[in-house]
Structure 1
Amino acid sequence: MKYAKSEAKDFARSNMHGIWAAALNPFHADGSFNEEGLRSNIRHWVDELEIRGLFIAGKQGEFFSMSMEERARNMTIAVEECGARAGTIMSISDQNVSNVVELGLHAQACGADYVVVHAPVLSFCHDRDEVLYNYYKYLCDRLDIGVAMWSHPDSGYLMEPEQCARIAELPNIVAIKYSVPREMYVRLSHMVGDLIQVSTSLEDDWLDNIEELGWRLYLCSSPPYQLQTRNDKRMHEYTELAFAGRFEEARVVRDSLEPVRQAIRSTKPGGKPTAHGKYWQELLGQVGGFVRHPMLELTEDEKRRTREAFEGCGLTL
């Protein structure tokens, strides 16, 4: 590891910033993991798109369909390819806490920068405060690596800002990916200050959050490599303008991407977000590949409509 447990917060404060993307995992037609495809994508994302960090083996990466061995391998590949050029945050989320700890120990051993753990599904549990605090404390007691919380609707509830602020006091809690309504993450940002990094994955709000909340971290989803090409890095451009305080210029660049956003939104089938994201990658020249069950593939007609929207969205290849 690059820091001691007691230094986790300071290390993240100094190093966890800029645009971080959540990696989709490419699979072959037979369902096997396309390792070389992932390596190729990572080199493109880091070297050509200038993405500062990668979120590995998360929901975008279909971790729920992967074995423990595959998830560990996924982490190792990302560390090898990112090297010193980009950071890594590994999703070690699982309902089985022993699996969470095992994956966390592997992340430490293979050289990851941080891990992220989403709030567990808590069946029949309505008073969650102590349950959630003790869940994250249990993990922090057993791991030295910096840990990010992650709250999203898939858990069946949203962690309240007050709950998150309490957990943020634990020594190696460094961030939260907070997939909640804006009012909630604004409130948490004011509550924790610079104790931890607060972020959300909605690219539409990224610029506003830099300007209004002083955010320095986009953590993280697929827009950083779906809205950009090696010759058209407008998300990177408007982010750097915003970091420099040039917000009017940044808004012009951000708003110019609206046709791209609309092309993605208007063609993404509600039941096939992962397959759509992978096909969009292929249109960009990246390695998309196949999805695993229970996710569904696009039909030929869905591909045609997506391709037509892509061709008219204005991205420069």
Structure 2
Amino acid sequence: MKYKALDAKEYARENMKGIWAAALNPFDGDLALDEQALRSNIRHWIDELDIQGLFIAGKQGEFFSMSLEERKRNFEIAVDECAGKAGVIVSVSDQNMNTAMELALHAQDCGADYIVLHAPVLSFVQDRGEVLYRYYKAFCDELDIGIAMWSHPDSGYVMQPEECARIAELPNIVAIKYSVPRPMYVELSRMVGDRILVSTSSEDEWLDNIEELGWQLYLCSSPPYLLQSAKDKRMDAYTQLAFAGQFEEARKIRDSLEPVREAIKRARPADKPQAFGKYWQSLLGQAGGRVRAPMLELTDAEKTLIGEEFGRCGLKV
């Protein structure tokens, strides 16, 4: 580890900055993890798109379809390929707490910079505050690595700002990916923004959050490599302008991406998010690959529609 638990917050504040993308995992024709394809994508994201960090083995990456050993290998590939040129945060999320801890220890040992830990499914629990605090504290007590909370309606609930603020006091809680309505993450940012980094995956709100909330971190989803190509890095461009305080120019560039956002919304089947993302990647020249069950593959008709929308969205490739 590059730091100890008591230094985790300071380390993250200094190093967890800019655009971090959640990686889709390319599976080959036999549905094995295509390691070379993943490495190729990582090199493109870092070297050509200037993405500053990667979120590995999350829901975008279909971790739920992967074995424990595959998830560990996923961590190792990312750490090896990023090689200090980009940050690495890995999802150790699992409903089995022992499995999550085993993954967290592996992440720490293999050189990941941080872990992200999804709030657990808490069936029948009505008063969640103490349960959630003790859950995250158990990981903090065992680990030095910085931990990002992750709250999303997938858990069956969302963590309340007050619950998150209490957990944020733990020494190696460094961030939260807070997938909630904007008023909730604004409230939390104002409560704990001086202690941990608050972020959400909504790209179209990213610029506003830099300007209004002083955010330094986009954590994270697939837009950084679906909205951009080596010849068209508008998300990076408006981000850098915003960080420099040039908000009017940043908004012009941000707004110029609206045709791309709308094309993605029109073309993406509601039941096939990963398959869509991978096919869009392939149109951009990245490695896409197959999805694993229970996720569904695209039909030929869906691929045709996606190709048509891609062709007129205005992205330069």
- Counterpart residue type for residue 82 of structure 1: C
Alignment of 1:70-109 (within 5 A): 70-109=70-109
Residues 176-223 of structure 1 deviation map (CA, whole Å, 9 limit, x = unaligned):
000000000000000013200000000010000000000000000000
Deviations 1:76-100 (A, max 9, x none): 0000000111000000000000011
Instruction: Say whether the 8 Å CA contact 1:19–1:218 is kept in structure 2.
Output: yes
Q: Distance in 1 between matches of 2:181 and 2:236?
A: 25
Unaligned runs of 5+ in 2: none
Partner of 1:239: 239
1:35-77 deviations in whole A, cap 9, x for unaligned?
0000000000001000000000000000000000000000000
Partner of 1:119 in structure 2?
A: 119
Q: In the alignment, which residue of structure 2 is the partner of 1:148?
A: 148
1:18 alignment partner AA: G
Q: Is the 8 A contact 1:9 1:172 kept in 2?
A: yes
Taking the aligned partners of 2:28 and 2:37, their CA distance within structure 1 comes to 9
Distance in 2 between residues matched to 1:155 and 1:188, nearest whole Å: 19
TM-aligned CA deviation for residue 235 of structure 1: 0.1
State the secondary structure of the residue aligned to 2:220.
Answer: strand
Give the secondary-structure state (helix, strand or coil) at the position aligned to 1:190.
helix
What is aligned with 2:162?
A: 162
Letter in 2 for 1:233: K
**What SS class does the counterpart of residue 20 from structure 1 fall into?**
strand
Q: Measure the CA separation in 2 of the matches of 1:178 and 1:44.
A: 27
Give, in whole Å, the separation in 2 of the partners of 1:15 and 1:5.
15
Residue by residue over 1:230-263, the C-alpha shift from the partner in whole angstroms, topping out at 9 and shown as x without a partner, is 0100000000000000000000000000011111
Q: Matched residue pairs, number?
A: 317
Q: Write out aligned runs for 1:200-239 (5 A).
A: 200-239=200-239
Shift of 1:309: 0.4
| Equivalent pair of 1:101/1:143 in contact (CA under 8 Å) | no
Cα deviations across residues 16-41 of structure 1 (Å, max 9, x unaligned)? 01000000000012111100000000
How far did residue 143 of structure 1 move?
Answer: 1.2
Secondary structure (helix, strand or coil) at the match of 2:19 reads strand
- Is 1:42 the counterpart of 2:42? The answer is yes
User: Residue 194 of structure 1 corresponds to which residue in structure 2?
Assistant: 194
Alpha-carbon distance in 2 for matches of 1:56, 1:172: 19
Matched residues in 2 for 1:128 and 1:108: separation? 28
Partner residue, 1:253: 253
What RMSD in Å do the two structures reach over aligned CA positions?
0.4
The equivalent residue for 2:306 is 306
Per-residue deviation, residues 265-310 of structure 1 (Å, max 9, x unmatched): 1010110011000000000000000000000000000000000000
Q: Would you say the 8 A contact 1:79–1:111 is kept in 2?
A: yes
Q: Name the structure 2 match of 1:63.
A: 63
Segments of structure 1 that go 5 or more residues without pairing to the other structure are: none
Question: What is the rounded CA distance, in whole Å, between the counterparts of 2:266 and 2:194 in structure 1?
Answer: 37
* Local SS of the residue matching 1:125: coil
3-state secondary structure, aligned to 1:221: coil
Q: Could you tell me which residue of structure 1 aligns to residue 129 of structure 2?
A: 129
Distance across 2 between alignment mates of 1:264 and 1:313: 9
Deviation at 1:144, TM superposition (A): 1.0
Note if contact 1:227-1:260 (Cα within 8 Å) is conserved in structure 2. yes
CA distance in 2, matches of 1:286, 1:207: 26
Divergent runs of 4+, >2 A: none
Give the whole-Å Cα distance in 2 for the aligned partners of 1:106 and 1:266.
40
| Distance of 1:194 and 1:93 partners within structure 2 | 26
Q: In the alignment, is the contact (CA less than 8 A) between 1:210 and 1:216 conserved in 2?
A: yes
Work out the CA distance in 2 between the residues paired with 1:166 and 1:155. Answer: 19
- Aligned partner letter, 1:96: N
Q: Distance in 2 between matches of 1:3 and 1:29?
A: 40
Inter-partner Cα distance in structure 2 for 1:4 and 1:168:
17
Q: For 1:110 and 1:7, locate their aligned partners in 2 and report how far apart those are by CA, in whole Å.
A: 19
In 2, distance between residues paired with 1:282 and 1:126? 44
Normalised to the residue count of structure 1, the TM-score between the two structures is: 1.00
| Structure-1 separation of matches of 2:193 and 2:33 | 40
Q: CA deviation at 1:5?
A: 1.2
Mapped partners of 1:136, 1:74: distance in 2: 23
Query: Which amino acid in the other structure matches residue 107 of structure 1?
Result: A
